Amino acid sequence: MLKEFSKSILCIGAGYVGGPTMAMIAAKCPQYKITVVDIDRDRIHRWNSDSLPIFEPGLDKLIETARGRNLFFSTEIDVGIRDADIIFVAVNTPTKTFGQGAEKAADLQYLEKTSRQILAHSTSDKIIVEKSTVPVRTSNAMERILNGGKNNVRFDVLSNPEFLAEGTAIKDLENPDRVLIGSRETENGIKARKEIVDIYANWVPKEKILESNTWSAELSKLTANAFLAQRISSINAISALCEKTEADINEVAAAVGMDSRIGSKFLNASVGFGGSCFKKDILNLVYICQNYDLHEVADYWESVVKINEWQEKRFVRNMLSSMFNTIAGKKIVILGFAFKADTGDTRESPAMYIVRGLLEEHAQVVVCDPKALGNARNDLKDVPGDLLAFEEDPYEATEGAHAIAILTEWEEYKNLDYERLLSSMVHPSFVFDGRNILDHQRLFEMGFNVYSIGRSPLKHFR
């Protein structure tokens, strides 16, 4: 370790979690040397350039502050392991696509490979911190691999789940609701935990740093995401009932959210939740419960994912039925492909399922998004070019269109000149607001037929 730094920290995995988290630690703690490594050369090259591999408000400034000072990006994983005192593991743990637990269990092969690599190149004691979301008791497996070696090196394996949300990652890291650090409750475990607490204590108030046993920390992460997703499925389930009964989901959500026990956040009815975490983590929880023969618990949580899929399908069905049961050959503009605003990420985006649903009905789809078109092109690369187009400019996209569907709540889509859009569209013209972000009454008065989530449609025909 270089003398001028008091600690050498390595992070394996330069993705959405590893990159921003390490950038924050580096910016707040100039006394530590932080190295982020990844097998993906191109990704590391981008972290070292002006075109960062992920878009996250405020990230570029953090990187500018710390890169080259005490923050380094590299592909030299083995050297990084050898030199580190503390290793954060932030590799991806996607859902398994094969064998036992396919489509539910986490695929832990990257985590296991990483553990073996750490073992192979370590020549001094290390603290290993799991950052990736993992099934409960994964750290047990890591410990077994690591401490099964013959090189007389001690490894303490801790869990420090990441709760940041994309789009607000830097804010969440700077001012987290809590930081959770779990370890074994042995003398060494508690000592290692203290070292990680000390890192965060550089900028996080002590009362927000929670300590627990390892398994509680691992399970808390899955549970937090399951609860958040459950709120969305709950409000979305009620949105369907609102559409049948003339109740208004915004009014219901406002009334329900004012109960301080419930709270008003995360109650926006939508076309569905997306993102890399919710579905994966819930299915993971479902799989664990099934393994412990807790089938009722598994079914309970699985229904959160089922309602979400139903909400996406329902949206396509509503578009089809409101456009006179045929959308074949009709041009439909999708405004927003990212799974939420302020990110270019499209993983598990409801937009993907909706676009595919529309294509199955032979619609002509044009996808617009200010940040996610690159990912959208990649996600839909199997679709023939004559059925699907990509366009950054909503005004260009909408020329001759029958319908607009808002699928991401981008601020700029709230402020488009809808009169202008309407004037270039085929009539009757439709807006499907999958995020309830527009002024529906105004659009209706302008001449649009307006369909939203959880509110009665406003239409100019019976």
Residues of this chain that bind ligand UDX (CB under 6 A): 162-166, 225, 228, 232, 266-268, 270, 273-275, 277-278, 339-340
Backbone angles phi, psi at 193, to 5 degrees: -60, -45
State in angstroms the smallest separation of the CB of 269 from ligand UDX. 7
Catalytic entry in 29, 277, 289, 368:
277
Q: Which residue has its beta carbon closest to ligand UDX? A: 275
DSSP label at residue 94: P
Residue 154 Cβ, how far from ligand UDX at the closest point, in Å?
30
**In one letter, which amino acid is 410?**
W
Toward ligand UDX, which CB reaches closer, 117 or 234? 234
Task: Report in angstroms how near the CB of residue 19 gets to ligand UDX at its nearest.
Answer: 14
Nearer to ligand UDX, 65 or 168 (CB): 168
3-class secondary-structure state, position 390: strand
d(CA 303, CA 298): 9
Nearer to ligand UDX, 266 or 310 (CB): 266
Secondary structure (3-state) at 89: strand
| Closer residue to ligand UDX in complex, CB, 158/267 | 267
Q: In the bound complex, what is the minimum distance in angstroms from residue 408's beta carbon to ligand UDX?
A: 8
H or E segment to which residue 190 belongs: helix 187-200
CA distance 249 to 263: 16
Q: Where are the alpha helices (DSSP H) in 246-325?
A: 249-257, 278-291, 295-322
Residue 277 designated active-site: yes
Torsion of CA 129, 132, 137, 139, to 10 degrees: -30
For ligand UDX, give the closer residue by CB, 70 or 308: 308
Q: Reduce the DSSP state of residue 372 to 3 states and report it.
A: coil
Nearer Cβ to ligand UDX (176/189) = 176
Q: How many CA atoms lie within 13 A of 325 on its CB side?
A: 0
Task: Give least dist CB 406 to ligand UDX, A.
Answer: 12
Rounded least distance, CB 309 to ligand UDX, Å: 13
β 364-368/7-12 pair status: unpaired
130 three-class SS: strand
**Bond prior to 20 in cis (omega within 30° of 0):** no
Tell me if 416 sits within 8 A of 252, measured CB to CB: no
Residues noted as catalytic: 277
